Chain A
Amino acid sequence: MTEYHVINGRAPRLDAPAKATGRAMYVDDIKLPGMLYGAILQSPLAHAGILNIDTSKALKLPGVKSVLTAEDAGMVHYGVSPARYDETLFVKDRVRYIGDEIAAVAAVDLETALEAVSLIDVEYEELPAVFTMEEAMAEGAPQIHDKYPGNMCAEVHQEFGNVEEAFAQCDLIRTDTFLNKRQDGAFLEPNGVVADFDRNGYLTLHTSTQSPHYVMRIIAMVLSLPVGKVRVVKPYVGGGFGPKAATNSIELASCLLSMKTGKPVKMNFTREQVFLFSRARHQFKHTLTTGVKKDGTLMALTNECYLEGGAYASFGIATVYYAGSLLGAPYRLPNMKYDGYRLYTNRPACGAQRGHGGVAARAAWEQQIDFIAEELGMDPVEIRMKNSMEAGDITCNDFNTSSFGMKDCIEAVKEESNWSEKKGKMPEGKGIGIATGFFVSGAGYPIYRSETAHSTVVIKLNEDGGTAHVLTGSAEIGQGSDTAMAMIAAEALGVPLDCIKVSSGDTDFSVDLGAYSSRQTLMTGHATKNAAEDLKGQVLDVLGEKLKVPVDQMDIKNGFVVFKGEVPDFTSIRTIYAKEHRGFFDNPDSDEPLTFKEAARMAFLARGSMVGTGSYKPGDLGGKFKGAAVGTSPAYGPSAQVVEVTVDKGTGKITIDRMTDAHDCGFAINRTSVEAQMQGSLSMGVGEAMYEEVKFDDKGKILNANLGEYKIATALDMPNVDTIIVESNEPNGPFGAKEVGEGAIMPTIPAILNALYDATGVRIQELPLTPERVFKAIQEKEEREK
């Protein structure tokens, strides 16, 4: 049972009724008067010089209002991180992947816009292209960006402790490789925008984004507009998962087209264009060497990782760091060396996707730990428990774990799944596997160098005190952040949940870095709590003056004022309130305790608009070495998962029979939302483990740029998940809360790999686990054993 009256419960989501009734407006549901439709021209070639662009025929087509190229847009470089601003809105003399943007058109309807695009003549000079990391690194490979020789977008070299010395003391050292494939966010709502530049020089962009703030800054920078004249508004968003945190070409193009035409401009990505845009999961090739003592103590890890990054850096500049840093935990690892290399290739750019650079690294290492356990004759649960970190531990790469329920998570899944009765005793063709996970609860630093608060929140109390309006730039993208903020505000202010109204996702409301790196519950939550407490303080201040009671003798609970000492006579307040609300239906009864509404009304009368503000910025985090920032966080979310599979050896098909997942979210603001994020995260992990892979032909064209051939789990593929919430009470989190959304995916792939090994004795170190891959591995094993 909980001492809280709103949080830690199962309040239904605030946005659910609108979504259940079809009333929720997503960006493509928006229509504005006089709206034009835009379309972009994208390169059909993976690597080519542009000799000439002729837009004359397009311009002459009736109904076309504007045609723009780099000539009109200029060549301001942007990207995600200022460390790698390597993109321009339109390319001028070189295309670097099939999909690279060359021009944009606005016309009276979509059909005309598309026809106009087809009338733009571009003269290309095809160049040799590189598609794989190996090709990109090869001697004499064509260079994709002049500034980055060897197609090396970024290189990371870090060592903590001394791995050589540590290896010398190990009883067992193992080296394993791991390879995943490029994947896609596959959110159900394709990216879309409506840009509206008004006659006062104010630009409003409605866009399906995870971070209105980052998009706003990029638009202001690229289009040379003052930040104060650019407003980005996020309508309801149909999923983001990472790729929608990066500013995209239609966000920029639609704004420019609106500025040129003076009309609103709508643009959408088709599903195929979503694949061309990507900014999704990289391909990672890991080589891990781990050394342990014979009692299972982890001593050292070297991690070499190559990332196939596509034509631009996007979030990849952070990804290449995460692919190393996130292995610093959840085990006590005193010595770690990481060498990471992100290569440019002539393919769509990769970026951040749920779990960022940690997912493949976690899969690789959790699989290797199982191999090590086997060689040592240790149970996989035992070796993990033995090495698990505890709250207060600091990783070798300077991450502070202020709360860490890792052991609780492992114990919980071991119990719940009946691990001890099952491990080693599964029937033929069935297996059980365990893995753990670890992720940040918000990136420690913004993606652009700044001392900015990561989240600011404004709460405006309406004049009769009945409603507190939370105004936040944070992004509700389906994960439930609006509801979480409402619950936190209600709890901190001391009012029932239905007194809270949330407006979010609008850069006019406040600065918030947005929904990425699993940050909003902790960071926006803190700012919300602070704003609510600020507001409460202001109300109590006025009340204290009126009643001659010290502020610290009063509090607000569940909509009522509570007094630590004797209840003072508040008749005058009640009388004033009743007089001002003659004829109203909900005036407090004469014998009711003093209500928050009445106190708030007094505050309004005394001071005018009642506004509480709150902000949050993490303290100084992390070490002083290069790249130390990436992976730092005010808190970390560990988790553990057990998966049971059945393998059909005749076909190689894997059926996931059961999943048991325990996640330490610090403190569940909304228990239903935490479970829901666990279940969803796991379904994405299942897809990535089993089916998902973006496939290319030898010219760099995506073969499966649709949801039929790029396969995410259907309702018949995904089992039920036993979810266990572990609450370790994070001191750095609001009410003890920290993340769940991205961390939960971490153990899924390796738990499946480990269960597969348990079922078949087959080690597969490449994803996805298609039936063919599994069948072949089983056949090869049977051949070897003959």
Chain B
Amino acid sequence: MLLPKFQFHEPATVEEACRILGELGEKAKTLAGGTDLFVNMKKKVLAPEHVVSLDRIESLAELGFSNGTLRIGACAKAVEIAESDVVKNDFPALQEGASKLGSPLIRNLATVGGNLVSARPAADFPPPLMAYGAKVVLRSGNGERTVALADFIEAPGQTVLAADEILESILLEKPEAHSGSAYLKLGIREALEISLVNVAVCMATEGADGPIKAARVVMGSVGPTPLISASAEKTLLGKKPSEALFLAAGEAAAMDSRPIDDFRASADYKRAMVKELTRRALARAYDRARTE
């Protein structure tokens, strides 16, 4: 299989990248890990005239805390996020999402930014990041803007990113005390899978034993974009955690899901799995909240 011909650009800085994209606009595609872009180019789904690589811009790959906010550069690789102690300690659902993406080989190339921008409904990064209320910083030659990740992805393959913008970083606030989170991915095999259904939850209780004071349930693969279940959140808020509550939240999430029948699985099954995975994820998140 051959890649179509293109002109290749390797800016050294974010400014340079934005300048090039400003000039080329729709004629260019940005390259981060390449695990999505090159597959689509080989399959002839995409044939951009220009490819602008962000691979050499070191500032885009950094990962670190600053004033209680975790900043993850868009070009941080899945493996770096999966192996980061910072992420593991404070954002375990993110660590889980990163470590279940594709395979170890893919994780050594794929970037969190690429996973967000390619906006595939079954992507592994959006649900946990959205569960943590992440924001994304978008940069262009004209400056930058910050957008809630929940508002960033619009449709399969489509985000609010303009043609002259790059996704520069993802910002996460450290979860409050007595928080717990979890990410579960259901696939046919144990590796190299695109999720049948994936669910991320983040919750916080009032004190160690109190009722739930904050909760977010995010489901992937069951809608054109990752979906936040408002009904699940409503079901959980103010209640004492319990098996029955988590089951009810799962049912609510299933009601909010919008799966379709496709060659991977039926909508009925996916809906049933939203219920099951939500229930399990909440149980695990609560366990983590208690042992914090």
Q: Residues of A with Cβ closer than 8 Å to B?
A: 110-111, 114, 270, 650-651, 653, 690-691, 695, 703-704, 708-709, 711, 713-717, 770-772, 775-776
Contacts and interface: CB of A to CB of B under 8 A. Distances in A.
25 contacts: A111-B2, A114-B2, A650-B276, A650-B280, A651-B273, A653-B186, A690-B188, A691-B188, A703-B263, A708-B192, A708-B194, A709-B194, A709-B263, A711-B188, A714-B189, A716-B189, A716-B191, A717-B189, A717-B190, A770-B265, A771-B196, A772-B265, A772-B269, A775-B269, A776-B269
A278 B128 CA distance: 40
Given A111-B2, A695-B263, A772-B265, A713 B276 contact: no
A549 B273 CA distance: 82
A771 B1 contact: no
A110 B2 contact: yes
A771 B188 contact: yes
Nearest to B103: A714
Nearest to A697: B263
Interface in B204-231: none
B189 A771 contact: no
A714 B1 contact: no
Contacts of A691: 188-189
A653 B265 CA distance: 13
Contacts of B191: 714-717
B266 interface: yes
A716 B190 contact: yes
Given A708-B192, A771-B186, A270 B1 contact: yes
B276 A651 contact: yes
B260 interface: no
Contacts of A651: 186, 273, 276-277
Contact of B192 (A650, A714, A776): A714
Nearest to A712: B189
Contacts of A703: 263
Contacts of B196: 771-772
Nearest to A110: B2
B147 interface: no
Contacts of A270: 1
Q: Is the interface of A mostly helix, strand, loop or mixed?
A: loop
Contact of A775 (B1, B264, B272, B277): B272
Nearest to A649: B276
Nearest to A690: B188
Nearest to B1: A270
Nearest to A687: B189
Interface residues of B, number: 21
Contacts of A695: 263
Contacts of A772: 196, 265-266, 269
B255 to A, nearest CB: 18
Interface in B247-288: 263-266, 269, 272-273, 276-277, 280
B79 to A, nearest CB: 17
A711 B189 contact: yes
Interface string B121-151: 0000000000000000000000000000000
Contacts of B189: 691, 711, 713-714, 716-717
A771 B195 CA distance: 13
A715 B194 CA distance: 17
A267 B186 CA distance: 39
- 7 closest residue pairs by CB, A with B: A716-B190, A772-B269, A714-B191, A650-B276, A703-B263, A716-B191, A695-B263
A111 B192 CA distance: 30
Contacts of A714: 103, 189-192
Question: Which interface residue of B103, B188, B263, B280 has the most chain A CB atoms within 10 A?
Answer: B188
Question: Which interface residue of A110, A651, A653, A711 has the most chain B CB atoms within 10 A?
Answer: A651
Interface string B1-19: 1100000000000000000
A715 B104 CA distance: 12
Contacts of B264: 709
A651 B281 CA distance: 14
Contacts of B194: 708-709
Contacts of B272: 775
Contacts of A110: 2
A63 B273 CA distance: 55
Interface string B155-187: 000000000000000000000000000000010
Contacts of B280: 650
Nearest to A270: B1
A114 B2 CA distance: 9
Nearest to B2: A111
Contacts of A770: 188, 265
Given A111-B2, A711-B192, A775-B269, 13 more contacts: A114-B2, A651-B276, A653-B186, A708-B192, A708-B194, A711-B189, A714-B103, A714-B189, A714-B190, A715-B191, A716-B189, A717-B191, A776-B269
Contacts of B265: 770, 772
A776 B265 CA distance: 12
Contacts of A776: 269
Nearest to B262: A703
A716 B264 CA distance: 20
A636 B221 CA distance: 48
A173 B254 CA distance: 45
B54 to A, nearest CB: 25
Contacts of B266: 772
B44 to A, nearest CB: 10
A238 B276 CA distance: 41
A292 B196 CA distance: 43
Question: Which interface residue of A270, A690, A704, A772 has the most chain B CB atoms within 10 A?
Answer: A772
Contacts of B103: 714
Question: Which interface residue of B264, B266, B269 has the most chain A CB atoms within 10 A?
Answer: B269
Contacts of B192: 708, 711, 714
Nearest to A271: B1
B203 to A, nearest CB: 20
Contacts of A711: 188-189, 192
Contacts of A713: 189
B271 to A, nearest CB: 12
A714 B103 CA distance: 10
Contacts of B190: 714, 716-717
Nearest to A703: B263
A691 B1 CA distance: 26
Contact of A704 (B2, B186, B263, B273): B263
A713 B263 CA distance: 19
A714 B192 CA distance: 8
A709 B194 CA distance: 9
Nearest to A653: B186
B261 to A, nearest CB: 11
A215 to B, nearest CB: 25
A713 B265 CA distance: 19
Nearest to B196: A771
Contacts of B2: 110-111, 114
Nearest to B4: A111
Contacts of A704: 263
A714 B187 CA distance: 13
A275 to B, nearest CB: 14
Contacts of A771: 186, 188, 196, 269
A716 B193 CA distance: 12
Interface in B97-133: 103
Contacts of B277: 651
Nearest to A695: B263
A691 B188 CA distance: 7
Nearest to A111: B2
Nearest to A772: B269
A708 B188 CA distance: 11
Nearest to B266: A772
B221 to A, nearest CB: 13
A454 to B, nearest CB: 39
B270 to A, nearest CB: 9
A191 to B, nearest CB: 15
A110 B4 CA distance: 12
A181 to B, nearest CB: 12
Nearest to B192: A714
